[in-house]
Structure 1
């Protein structure tokens, strides 16, 4: 994945652009859906080169109300939009609603 030219893509935090990647769980931060679309397709192509494939059933996107764009395509197919997802065991949403996270953890206990 070092081949990806993402030095100027993602969310700028303390002057650095970040996109979270952890083993096979990946969250891509971007400034627009068009940038996210480029990044997900670049990641998909880089993965293919080393024998990895994107699970389209698990691939979704989430955006805040100020995000430009409405859709993201991966290899010409639309990716589903979601309002929340679980990443590394924690429920994530734009509202950062802890009630949903606490309810999810109670159900799992």
Structure 2
């Protein structure tokens, strides 16, 4: 990723550009438009190919806010699916900051595994 020329790509936060978040095999790319995102994902794909990595098309999606310019993103000859939410590091993310999905997930977890037991008090 360091070989990519993304110093002026992404979103500006306090005068610095944030273009991506990375954790293990998950990458989130930030851009000002779908056309910029398309360039960035294709550049990332080419850089990855040079070292034997590939982007999983089935897991690749994009999400945009109401102010985003553009409608679609093409990656390696096919369109990337748009989504309204995704899970990053175990936390559902969406543009509305709606926590209902996270509450449902936690309620299901508690229903499946039961409430945590209180340690005995002496």
The question of a shared fold, defined as TM-score above 0.5 by the shorter chain, is answered with yes
Following the alignment from structure 2 to structure 1, what is the Cα–Cα distance between the partners of residues 92 and 43? Answer: 26
TM-score (norm 2): 0.85
Q: How many residues align?
A: 109
- Residue segments in structure 1 that go unaligned for 5+ positions in a row: none
- Residue segments in structure 2 that go unaligned for 5+ positions in a row: 111-122
Distance 1:47 1:108, change over 3 A: farther
TM-score (norm 1): 0.95
Matching residue of 2:10: 10
Q: CA RMSD in A?
A: 1.0
Which secondary structure state, in structure 1, belongs to the residue aligned with residue 64 of structure 2? coil
Which of the pair has the greater relative contact order for Cα pairs under 8 Å at 6+ separation?
1
Matching residue of 1:83: 84
Do structure 1's residue 98 and structure 2's residue 99 form an aligned pair? yes
Tell me which structure has the larger Cα radius of gyration. 2
